[in-house]
Amino acid sequence: MKYTRQRCQRRACRVEAFSDPSIKVQGFTPGYHVAVIGDCPTEAETQQQLENARRCVPGAYSERALHLGE
């Protein structure tokens, strides 16, 4: 697997994420790419993932959404 700069940064931040077009996320405006960190069953887990992400991406934020998949 080829490691891109972004993938290495995410690993350093302890965030496993993937990027998808915003059209694949219910309620999001089409035409953007979003970083999806996955399902966080509790608010505490969401906050921990967000804290980790902000180490590399200071402007990161979370939003509840339904990913529509492939």
Give the sign of the dihedral formed by CA 7, CA 70, CA 62, CA 40. negative
Q: How many CA atoms lie within 13 A of 39 on its CB side?
A: 5
Mean pLDDT computed over 43-53: 89
Q: Which pLDDT tens digit goes with each residue over 10-47?
A: 566 777 778 889 999 998 999 998 888 878 889 999 89
Sequence letter at residue 31: G
| Residue that the structure tokens 């891109």 belong to | 4
Give the model's confidence band at 65: pLDDT under 50 very low, under 70 low, under 90 confident, else very high: confident
Note the pTM of the prediction, 2 decimals: 0.64
pLDDT class of 9 with cuts at 50, 70, 90: low
